Amino acid sequence: MAFISFPRLHQLSGAHKLIAVGAFAAVVAAAGCTSGSAAPSSTSAAAASGASSGSPATVTAATKGSLGSVLANAQGMTLYRYTPDAPGVSNCTGGCATAWPPLELAPGVTTPVAGKGVDGLGTVKRADGSLQVTYDKMPLYTFTGDSRATDAKGQGLDGTWFVIKSGASGASGGATATTKAPTTAAPSGGGYGY
């Protein structure tokens, strides 16, 4: 870090002293912001409305065109469920996890934050030791084919990937997942006839 030399404060007028002190504070603050470490994407978005802890919501509810209100990550990207998974077990690894990145908590974070209207969040430990966020005990994923927060291109893909609807009343009375895997494989562009 380069040192900046300021004139002695006693040689400056009152207004100039304030400007010099403010400039110094700005330089110090900027230096602290460029430490070289980036925050993981799951915690870098602005907080969703309704996050109760004041932390950014890990999972929110977002409207996705004709699909209606579905679960999304902190950046608004659609979240999906993989039907070969089991409660508390993620079966999407290797190339699957490259195309369908697991929604993981930042290192040191152990509890996901639910946005307004979302409940039932938890975690499952992946083989690499990271914590993947779950909804109703099922692991959550994003899709690399979605390039914008309005996208939900993974819905029904290969008959195994489905969005998780929010806003329906469940046994707990809160927002719960209503999209379940069909008993027969859905066409790759289909799903539930939305």
Encode pLDDT of 68-126 as tens digits: 999 999 999 999 999 999 999 999 999 999 999 999 999 999 999 999 989 999 999 99
pLDDT averaged over every residue in the chain: 72
- For the record, the structure tokens of 46 come out as 């602005």
DSSP 27-64: HHHHHHHTSS-PPPGGG-SPPPTT-TTSSPPSEEEEE-
Q: What is the mean pLDDT of residues 153-165?
A: 97
> pLDDT digits over 121-140, tens only?
999 999 999 999 999 999 99
Interatomic CA distance for residues 91 and 85, integer angstroms: 5
pTM check: above 0.75? no
pLDDT digits (tens, 9 = 90+) for 1-41: 444 444 454 554 554 454 444 444 443 333 343 333 333 33
